[in-house]
Structure 1
């Protein structure tokens, strides 16, 4: 069963609540789990290397932002990412699904950036998309975006286990990372901020009333968890 948007948000917030700890997503837990009900396709040996690219530099123009590096995903891969976005963060009463809002564009820009963390994500996401299509073809004779909805759901179920068998560790880690990027992209959009009731970047008329009691309580709890004292 694919996690709901609210469950996925809770999943990310759990990670954010442990900023100084080495946090491992649930599906990366060690152990020998139950193998999926299919023969597992081999993980890709390598992906095409990224083209030479420059970053933003020391003084980016924030008034006229642009992406100075070439993008990575093919049209078919972008469509698959958007499809996965709608499956993992589906439409609800508050907004359309993440894919309909174009989260694939965010993922594409992210993994194309010429920085170490993004280059690591690039290899993992590209490998995962290649594996997902290969596994779909092995099971159902077509790429992931062309198989039936029930077949997609069954394959995604195998990618959201808590203790994958050894050969599923990389596919599960791929889906964990992609889910994280979906949340990161979706909740930076106006629709995502409205969905979770975020008002932190809205002007406050009149005198600033200060943080709410709930915010102060949360702040004190975080400090206590970090063994720090509030001044």
Structure 2
């Protein structure tokens, strides 16, 4: 999907308003294990960001200006979209995250000149560089050119709860990218429809209040943010 900078900036600003943008715990769910391959070195450095301004305290959401240059190359953007479709694949309810253009969202997000986004930029750029280096070391080709089964095996090694020493940064990269995919996808109409979000709807009769499940989820969120009631 081809998105304009105006569309991706609106997407980023909508996503930045969600709690997940500031609270992104690791989502790895595999078992503790040493990787079944010799781990490639994490890159020593990534290209520094170009000087850029933010969008200010009162952006015009109807006609947002795009004040910063993008980061990802065409090949890196394609790899992010490929990963988006692998991590949040298409099903009977929606297209995969990559087909919906999550690569454009990630590119806009990591290009923004703010502390969280700059930290994510280091992780995502370093991770993409590492992913290609590891793919070449194992299979003689970049990640987007290896076989689907080879991609799956490599991604499986990035979903462990306690990674081996050489895999700490690669696993953190994948956690960050996975969280950005979730953040971006569920900020879209397709993502909201996928989780059954219907927006504000009138409630006939007396308002019953939040369900116990909703209150429990809210309490967990507050605890995770360090805001639990004393």
TM-score by length of 1: 0.80
Contact 1:112–1:122 under 8 Å retained in 2: yes
**In structure 2, C-alpha distance between the alignment counterparts of 1:105 and 1:205, rounded to whole Å:** 35
Q: Secondary structure at the match of 1:69?
A: coil
Summarize deviations over 1:116-136 as a string: whole Å, max 9, x none: 110000011000000000000
Change (3 A) 1:76 1:208: farther
Query: Unpaired segments of 5 or more residues in structure 2?
Result: 1-18
Q: Secondary structure at the match of 1:49?
A: coil
Structure 1 equivalent of residue 215 of structure 2: 219
Change (3 A) 1:143 1:54: same
Query: Unpaired segments of 5 or more residues in structure 1?
Result: 1-15
TM-score by length of 2: 0.80
Query: How large is the RMSD of aligned CA atoms in angstroms?
Result: 2.9
1:1-231 aligned within 5 A = 24-25=25-26, 27=28, 33-200=32-199, 202=200, 204=201, 210=207, 212-214=209-211, 218-219=214-215, 222-223=218-219, 228=229
Contact 2:29–2:159 under 8 Å retained in 1: no
Instruction: Note the C-alpha offset of 1:190.
Output: 0.5
Deviating 4+ runs (over 2 angstroms): 26-29, 204-213, 216-229
Query: How many matched pairs?
Result: 206
Change (3 A) 1:127 1:212: same
